[in-house]
Structure 1
Amino acid sequence: MSAEPRAGRAPLWRDRAFGTYWIAQTLSAAGNAFAYLAVPLLVLEVTGSVAQMGLLTAVAGVASVIAGVFGGVLVDRYDRRRLMIVADLVRMVLFGLVPIVWLVSPQVWLLFVVLPICAAAGMLFQVAAVTAVRNLVDADRITEANGRLQATFAATAVLGPLLAGVVSARFGPAVAIAVNAASFALSAVGLRLIRLRTAQPADTAPMARERPLVEFLAGARFLWRQPVLRALTVLLSVFIFLTYGFTDVLIYHVTHDLGGTEGTVGIVLGLAALGTVAGALLVAPLRRRRGFGATWIGAHTLCGFAVAGVGVATTVPTVTALTAVYLCCLSVGGICSMSLRQEITPDHLLGRVTSAFWSTHYALGPAGAAILTWAAGRYGVPAVALVAGVGCLLVAVGGVFTPIRRARAPNRRPPHRDSGGPRPWARSAAEAPHGGGVGTPGT
């Protein structure tokens, strides 16, 4: 369990650097919430095929995995904030192309070009974003900071799908994707205003640079040699295989089986996202009181029941409620595992450890999405959801028989603050490129 927060400090929301970062991340998440609904609807509108939706998800997933192999090396070598800005600008331009092309004629092939590149940029962004939290707050506030970030993301996920559903129904899904593109521009501006702290001397161990693959493998070795992180990586890789295509299946279930419209899908995903808000707010006190193991295992147990229940649900309100439970528990489990990795991993390895975890974690996701959506179209959503739900329960049971059950985070001294307070346009030592070498690195 992480250390208790120290008294006498200003509330986290009053921290200028974290607050600016918080706003920038919220803007990015708001756009993602639009794309979350608009991209599948765009494919369904043109092709009418859930299998095509799954194939696009799978292709984007493969790009994420490939980007993850090198993303951690880049994050540990170069300015993390600048990498995030570049990733935002790339996604702004590419997503902006979609509505422009759709004005002339719908071209599904363009999505198979744009989405993988944006997914790769998104992976780089997420690896950098995880490492940035470590350089923004004290070590004993990492879980709280992650919880606040995820709660805000979830709040945007409530309004995002609702608004995306309305926009898609009124103007078409392509316009909703244009909103997504604009959000990345705003996020990039916000990121220009922050400055990261320097890392602790014990966490900064500059070494001669190696080949990118060698540096990535250094992160993978750390991940594999740490018993709790190894167990989390294996079990969560199975979990992502079972659930990576869940959103596509859910949208298909609501529109095909329950007769819902695009607006209905937006309402379901928007209201269900309240579960993510609840999970993000509950995770810190749950972890303090119950410990990492019980919190993580319990969350994934409830995920399994919720996924199975969605398949047999015959009304939209029931599907919404079960999806909210699923997202709540997904939020709790994800924040727990991400926070533990940030606490355990030395700063100079955090990018590569995060990269190695996500590359491994998501490796089975694309295949899972393709199989899940194909099976849903062929055998029906109830059968597929039941199998996936049982698989999630087995993942939770697996946690009981691994070091996850007894996992505790080490106590760390908080990273020191730079004198003079935040200087928005300056470049901190933590952001400066440094050597890689041997070492290693996870959500």
Structure 2
Amino acid sequence: MTKNVLLYILTDTLASGSDVISSMAAALVAVDLASNSFQSGLILFSASIPYVLFGLAGGVVADRVDKRRLMIWCDLVRAMLLSLIPLAAAFHRLTVPVLIGSLLLASSVRAFYFPARKGLTPDLVADEVLLNQLNLYLNATESLGGIIMPIVGSVLLLWTHAIPDLFWIPVTTLFISALAVYLIRLPKQLPSLGATPLNDLMQGLALVFSQRSPLRYLVAAFATAIVAEAGVIKIALPKILTAMHLSHNVSYGLAIGLMASAEVGMSFLWVKRRASRSPTWIFGGYAVRAGGLALLAMGLGIGSLPLLMGAIVVQGIGMPISGPSLTTALQTHTPRPLIGKVMAIRSTIGNLSDGASYLLIGGLLEVLSLDRVLWLCMTLAALSALTFLILWSRHPVSQSWERGQAG
């Protein structure tokens, strides 16, 4: 691997790790500050609102400026914004509005960071095979950050017992990430400019959602899987751990670390498989994750901690089967001038789906039992994976892509 690739993997790992621990901390703080499950979901949903306003614009900006510089500034600004949460807590000023405001601003900045980061990836490798391998390695190292950060967070909680202090971890990692991006050296490239920013955006939307493009089925399956799963991991899982007489503040971080461990192991196994380059496997990954939800419901139903741990591992195994393959499919079949915008579309849809899931799961938990909510989510995940697989397989363009992968 080149120096640039190693630095990029480092910054990607740190930035993703900061997202994991920020998300974990936000979920725990939301549970503590909120009066019920729906309000917890509403707090977490607030972090998705900026993607409605800035998500697509972030892709247009990423394609019109130096992606490295944009990533550096985003890292630094996000670090400063997230530091407001533990500072407010230290002065006994942390309230729901303060938490929501900080998450809103930090998410607004991330809306510009993500398309720049994913748009930079193809510039580091020579062909599609290396690109898919790099995406799998990135998934593995991101998951490694997902192991280390929650464990570090759990240890920190044992020491301080102050959940907002968890935000000091992403603050630190984001500063280091900015330094790593600064050290990456790539040939200077002219920005990709369309006639107008609006024209740029419309080209990206047309590429993903036109009837001639099968990418819309991949994106739709991606969105539905998130709606079915995100709220379960962020809102339902702490309640499951509590129902099994475990301290959710500490055990939640360990559970997320276990999921990430399974994701790391599967990523390194999957990178050696030629089949991993086939977009069809994206749907297989979503089906595996639906199976994880079923095991989670069964583990809760019979009160089995080993089955609960198995469900978390299965969820982790399904992640690298679907995630990196989706990223590679979008990067490979997108013209270079549009890649930032397409990555922004993916990021926007993903984050809006996160928010929808938090509201949906939080609301359902107010009117249904925990096990029924899990079975409903499993059904949604399984049916959506099957439906979009059928639609994908019948599209003539996707058939030609599959033949190209096989060749």
TM-score of the superposed pair, with normalisation by structure 1: 0.82
Q: Name the counterpart of 1:419.
A: none
Task: Give distance in 2, aligned partners of 1:107 and 1:360.
Answer: 29
Cα deviation 1:310-360 (Å, max 9, x = unaligned): 123123332222122112212220110101111111111101122223334
Q: CA shift at 1:293, angstroms?
A: 4.2
Task: Give distance in 2, aligned partners of 1:150 and 1:291.
Answer: 14
Is 1:181 aligned with 2:171?
A: yes
Q: Which amino acid aligns with 1:68?
A: G
Q: CA shift at 1:40, angstroms?
A: 1.4
Q: Name the counterpart of 2:61.
A: 74
Equivalent in 253, 258, 264 of residue 266 of structure 1:
253
Percentage identity across paired residues of the two chains: 20
Alignment gaps of 5+ in structure 1? 1-11, 413-443
Task: Give distance in 2, aligned partners of 1:309 and 1:129.
Answer: 34
Is 1:321 aligned with 2:310?
A: yes
Equivalent in 17, 26, 42 of residue 13 of structure 2:
26
Equivalent in 363, 371, 383 of residue 394 of structure 1:
383
Task: Give distance in 1, aligned partners of 2:215 and 2:356.
Answer: 23
Structure 1 residues 208 and 289: CA distance shift in structure 2, 3 A: closer
Structure 1 residues 410 and 135: CA distance shift in structure 2, 3 A: farther
Cα deviation 1:241-285 (Å, max 9, x = unaligned): 222312223433334322221111121111121121123223333
Structure 1 residues 34 and 129: CA distance shift in structure 2, 3 A: same
Query: What is the DSSP-based 3-state SS (H/G/I as helix, E as strand, rest coil) of the residue aligned with 1:138?
Result: coil
Equivalent in 395, 403, 408 of residue 401 of structure 2:
408
Q: Name the counterpart of 1:160.
A: 149
Q: CA shift at 1:294, angstroms?
A: 4.0
Is 1:136 aligned with 2:124?
A: yes
Q: Name the counterpart of 1:251.
A: 237
Task: Give distance in 2, aligned partners of 1:96 and 1:316.
Answer: 36
Structure 1 residues 114 and 392: CA distance shift in structure 2, 3 A: same
Task: Give the 5 Å matches for 1:302-313.
Answer: 302-313=288-299
Q: Which amino acid aligns with 1:213?
A: L
Deviating more after overlay: 388-397 vs 31-40: 31-40
Q: Which amino acid aligns with 1:216?
A: L
Cα deviation 1:112-164 (Å, max 9, x = unaligned): 00112212222321111111111111123111111111111111211211221
Task: Give the 5 Å matches for 1:114-133.
Answer: 114-133=102-121
Q: Name the counterpart of 1:146.
A: 135
Q: Name the counterpart of 2:203.
A: 218
Task: Give distance in 2, aligned partners of 1:290 and 1:169.
Answer: 40
Deviating more after overlay: 124-133 vs 367-376: 367-376
Query: What is the DSSP-based 3-state SS (H/G/I as helix, E as strand, rest coil) of the residue aligned with 1:244?
Result: helix
Deviating more after overlay: 121-130 vs 383-392: 121-130
Cα deviation 1:39-82 (Å, max 9, x = unaligned): 21122223353322211221111223432110110011011111
Structure 1 residues 168 and 349: CA distance shift in structure 2, 3 A: same
Task: Give distance in 2, aligned partners of 1:125 and 1:409.
Answer: 31
CA contact (8 A) 1:65 1:360 kept: no
Task: Give distance in 2, aligned partners of 1:364 and 1:317.
Answer: 30
CA contact (8 A) 1:243 1:369 kept: no
Deviating more after overlay: 397-406 vs 215-224: 397-406
Alignment gaps of 5+ in structure 2? none
CA contact (8 A) 2:277 2:325 kept: no
Q: Which amino acid aligns with 2:262?
A: G
Q: Which amino acid aligns with 2:323?
A: G
CA contact (8 A) 1:31 1:183 kept: yes
Task: Give the 5 Å matches for 1:49-68.
Answer: 49-68=36-55
Task: Give distance in 2, aligned partners of 1:269 and 1:260.
Answer: 14
Deviating more after overlay: 145-154 vs 100-109: 100-109
Cα deviation 1:166-203 (Å, max 9, x = unaligned): 2123211111111111111111111111123567xxxx
TM-score of the superposed pair, with normalisation by structure 2: 0.89
Task: Give distance in 2, aligned partners of 1:316 and 1:174.
Answer: 28
Task: Give distance in 2, aligned partners of 1:163 and 1:407.
Answer: 46
Deviating more after overlay: 240-249 vs 289-298: 289-298
Query: What is the DSSP-based 3-state SS (H/G/I as helix, E as strand, rest coil) of the residue aligned with 1:285?
Result: coil
Equivalent in 309, 324, 329 of residue 340 of structure 1:
329
CA contact (8 A) 2:235 2:358 kept: no
Q: Which amino acid aligns with 2:103?
A: L
Q: CA shift at 1:304, angstroms?
A: 1.0
Aligned-pair RMSD on alpha carbons? 2.3
Q: Which amino acid aligns with 1:183?
A: T
Cα deviation 1:210-239 (Å, max 9, x = unaligned): 1x3332111101112352212112222222
